[in-house]
Amino acid sequence: MNEKEMVRLSKRLSSWLRHNPDAIGLRPDEAGWVRVQDLLSQAAAHSRGFTRAQLDLVVEQNNKKRFEFDASGTSIRARQGHSIEVDLGYTPADPPEILYHGTAERTLGLIMAEGLLPMRRHAVHLSADIATAVNVGGRHGRPAVLRVDTVAMRAAGHEFFVTGNGVWLVDAVPPQYLELLPTPR
């Protein structure tokens, strides 16, 4: 499987496991898990088939590590980013003092007025490093990076969660905890 095919399959999996399982007749459980055999058979039934070996490759080698298998390897889910109702079961975690959020510059006015909101997802996604935030922000235009004061947020009672691929999650980030960093180059 070449890189282009891997990206294509990763995007399909993201759509099915995070947003639209009905598109191929999947029924995730309350934690977002889908039996691998159901995923393979339903994808094939909808002319989108792939092999278990290809699935393993995407889970293991995808640079964003969006997916995970359960301990038995018989079920799969997306680690975060769902627009469907799921309870991922993450426990609160102590974040670093500063986290970052990457966005497109054109969204800054609204964000600085209203804060970071989950929009169509269940949580706001934050990263522990600026480079990741720049990469995320650049997906939809010229990137802007916001620094999130997690110390003050935790003191105000906000809870943070971390996924297996290092993405930090929080319900929302009010604007008083945000600082715009100089434009990344």
Sign of the torsion angle spanned by Cα atoms 62, 65, 71, 77: negative
Mean of pLDDT values over 69-87 = 92
Residue 185 scores a pLDDT above 70: no
Read off the pLDDT of residues 100-138 as tens digits, 9 standing for 90 and up.
Answer: 999 999 999 999 999 999 888 889 999 999 999 999 999
CA 84 to each of CA 2, 24, 91, 178: distance values in angstroms, whole numbers, following the listed order: 30, 15, 20, 27
Read off the pLDDT of residues 136-153 as tens digits, 9 standing for 90 and up.
Answer: 999 888 999 999 999 999
Q: Write down the pTM of the prediction.
A: 0.78
User: What domains can you pick out in the chain, each with its CATH number?
Assistant: 3-78 (1.10.10.970), 98-180 (3.20.170.30)
pLDDT of residue 143: 94
Residue 184 scores a pLDDT above 70: no
Read off the pLDDT of residues 36-68 as tens digits, 9 standing for 90 and up.
Answer: 999 999 999 999 999 999 999 999 987 778 899
* Cα separation of the two ends of the chain: 33
pLDDT of residue 121: 81
Percentages helix, strand, coil for the chain (3-state, rounded to 5) are 40, 20, 40
